[in-house]
Structure 1
Amino acid sequence: MKRILTGIKPTGSPHIGNYLGAIRPAIELANLPDTTAMYFIADYHALTTVHDGKTLDHLTREVAATWIAFGLDPAKTLFYRQSDVPETFELAWVLTCFTSKGWMNKMHAYKAHLDSSKEEDKDAGINIGIYTYPILMAADILLFDADLVPVGKDQLQHVEIARDMAQRLNHTYKQELLRLPAAKIDEQTMIIPGLDGRKMSKSYDNTIPLLAPAKQLRKAVMKIVTDSTPPEAPKDPDKSLIMDLYKLYAKPEQVAELRTRYQSGIGWGDAKGALADVLESVVAEPRRRYDELMANREELDALLREGGTRARDYATRVLRRVRDGIGISR
């Protein structure tokens, strides 16, 4: 039975790119045979940048409600909040004591912050949470004996350093205290275009909200950048941002029909309307369930607490193994 672990950082409201790029693939992975899926909301990781309590609480619940609304079954998947498993932070300290500063200086996230800093002191604005982020991420992974960690290529380094930390600890104490994880890289990971054609990203402010009300969803779609081709003029469907998005969500027969309309001449407003309609057909039912969960805090919190209890049951066993190995047992 393969153990697969994924973390979701609650730093912004989900958009349609998150659905195809992360949510749907993760749920499909959880339904594979001979697989134990463990998905956690990385609320303490979010604390490196989100410094408003009400905002972090809302974003955490928003992530939980979104994933459940789109089909994640908490009864079949270990779904929990990072903050509900305090053992994570004890293991993180153990790993810190076996991690050199040189390693941390080479971490991509830290270097990216340095490169983007406009301050004379390049470390200005970089808190220790950002600097030690990979150590906490390693603890997230290693505490649950994860075999596979699905990541994009930009996150590969985090899995590699978790593996290095586990090897160092195992070598030092001459026993297998921690299981070595492997990265699962999806070479086919989709890059979802945003309103302006660049990768859909909150940092570019070019997203289409995933579970916004129907009118708000349609309003966002209408902001997609187009050219000044007259409505009656034939258009190339293979050079259309609207069509690029439409193909990701529509059925093959719907795509074929819209292609014909492009070639015959279609106004950009009508094309955007077709995209809004197909998006609405995908998200209408999940949005109903999402709204239900967000309105019923007790139900959502109960699901997360149950997941946290199950997660701690496993985490305490792994931490006990580590404690015994390093000589801190009780």
Structure 2
Amino acid sequence: MEKMLTGIRSTGTPHLGNILGVIIPSVSIANKKKKYTSFIFIADLHSMIQIENIKEIKDNTYQIAAAWLAFGLNTKNCFFFKQSDISEVTELAWYFSCFFPYQRLTLAHSFKEEIKKDKGRISVGLFTYPILMAADILLYNAEIIPVGKDQLQHIEITRRIASHFNKKIGKKLFILPNAFLQKETMSVLGTDGNKMSKSGKNWINIFSEENILKKQIMSIRTDSKSLEEKKDPKTNYIMSLFRMIANSEKIDTKYTEGRYGYLEAKIGLYEHIIHKFSKERKRFFSFMKKKSLLDDILYSGAKKAKNIAMKRLNYIRKNLKFNSII
């Protein structure tokens, strides 16, 4: 069976982009037990490059876990765990960091973007983020990695690491993973027209209280066209979200004919999200009231994943020839 692996950083509740681009397609894969072995983890170690408050990371971890379960993840069919519970991943990341060229990491888009913002706040953890991500994937030899468009370069770095390691050792120790990217959700735009992200503060959180969710949707940026004017649905942020979660033909027609304003479109989008994700919202709030249950589920998943991680790392150690790698 093919192995699928994906994770979401515990930097807050998953936004609509996370849900459409990662959670929904990953749950669909993970629940097909006979075809796939799935590893789904909460990347709490990765989140430390943004958040220093451990309590905040823990609270976010509960939200991430509740979101996955709210969308129907069957934990009996997969390995569902916290990244920090698998210490083997950090050891493997160290092996990788000792031979991967420094200069190649400086070319990582995520690093270059942060450098532009504030050089003084760049941590070693942010710089080596792709190395730890490679260890997450290669520790389990996962072949399928559902990711967003912004993570494609990190998958390519992982493939380079795997290929280089295999060549140095003279054995196919690691499988070269492939990104799984859904074209229809390749780039989910936020309320300002840029890629939806928590750091960009342009996200839509479907698990927000209704008044907050409505406020987020009402803040979607639009142009100055009047109610009567015809509008192009292909260039509109509201319509791009509608297309991802609903049949938008009727609304497309209203846009092109005119007499359909942005306020009406935003209200329609809000009502559709509330209706479409009503079950998931209810489940999410229910799980958030049962944090001890979430702890048990994650602990059980970590025990299963750790057994595999320990065996894999022992095998990797036996095959390491430090004089030819470092």
The TM-score, its normalising length taken from structure 1, stands at 0.86
**Relative to structure 1, is the Cα distance of residues 269 and 167 closer, same or farther in structure 2, using a 3 angstrom cutoff?**
closer
**Relative to structure 1, is the Cα distance of residues 267 and 41 closer, same or farther in structure 2, using a 3 angstrom cutoff?**
same
SS at match of 2:105: helix
Q: CA RMSD in A?
A: 2.5
**Aligned equivalent of 2:131:** 135
**Aligned equivalent of 2:175:** 180
CA distance in 2, matches of 1:203, 1:321: 39
**Aligned equivalent of 2:204:** 208
Amino acid at match of 2:6: T
Amino acid at match of 2:231: D
Trace 1:208-247 onto structure 2 (pairs within 5 A): 208-231=204-227, 233=228, 235-236=230-231, 238=233, 240-247=236-243
Deviation at 1:36, TM superposition (A): 1.4
Indicate if the aligned counterparts of 2:40 and 2:81 stay in contact, CA closer than 8 A: yes
Deviation at 1:86, TM superposition (A): 0.9
**Relative to structure 1, is the Cα distance of residues 171 and 273 closer, same or farther in structure 2, using a 3 angstrom cutoff?**
closer
Instruction: Tell me whether 131-140 or 37-46 shows the greater mean CA deviation.
Output: 131-140
**Relative to structure 1, is the Cα distance of residues 53 and 230 closer, same or farther in structure 2, using a 3 angstrom cutoff?**
same
**Given the alignment, which residue of 254, 260, 280 partners 1:286?**
280
**Relative to structure 1, is the Cα distance of residues 234 and 143 closer, same or farther in structure 2, using a 3 angstrom cutoff?**
same
Q: Which runs of 5+ in 1 are unaligned?
A: none
**Given the alignment, which residue of 147, 159, 163 partners 1:163?**
159
Deviation at 1:214, TM superposition (A): 2.0
Q: Which runs of 5+ in 2 are unaligned?
A: none
Structure with max Cα Rg: 1
CA distance in 2, matches of 1:81, 1:258: 41
**Relative to structure 1, is the Cα distance of residues 227 and 305 closer, same or farther in structure 2, using a 3 angstrom cutoff?**
same
**Aligned equivalent of 1:70:** 71
Indicate if the aligned counterparts of 2:30 and 2:74 stay in contact, CA closer than 8 A: no
**Aligned equivalent of 2:271:** 277
Trace 1:79-98 onto structure 2 (pairs within 5 A): 79-98=80-99
CA distance in 2, matches of 1:245, 1:126: 33
**Relative to structure 1, is the Cα distance of residues 80 and 127 closer, same or farther in structure 2, using a 3 angstrom cutoff?**
same
CA distance in 2, matches of 1:139, 1:76: 23
Amino acid at match of 1:67: W
Indicate if the aligned counterparts of 1:149 and 1:181 stay in contact, CA closer than 8 A: no
The count of corresponding residues between Structure 1 and Structure 2 is: 318
Deviation at 1:47, TM superposition (A): 0.8
CA distance in 1, matches of 2:169, 2:20: 43
CA distance in 2, matches of 1:174, 1:236: 59
Indicate if the aligned counterparts of 1:66 and 1:290 stay in contact, CA closer than 8 A: yes
The TM-score, its normalising length taken from structure 2, stands at 0.87
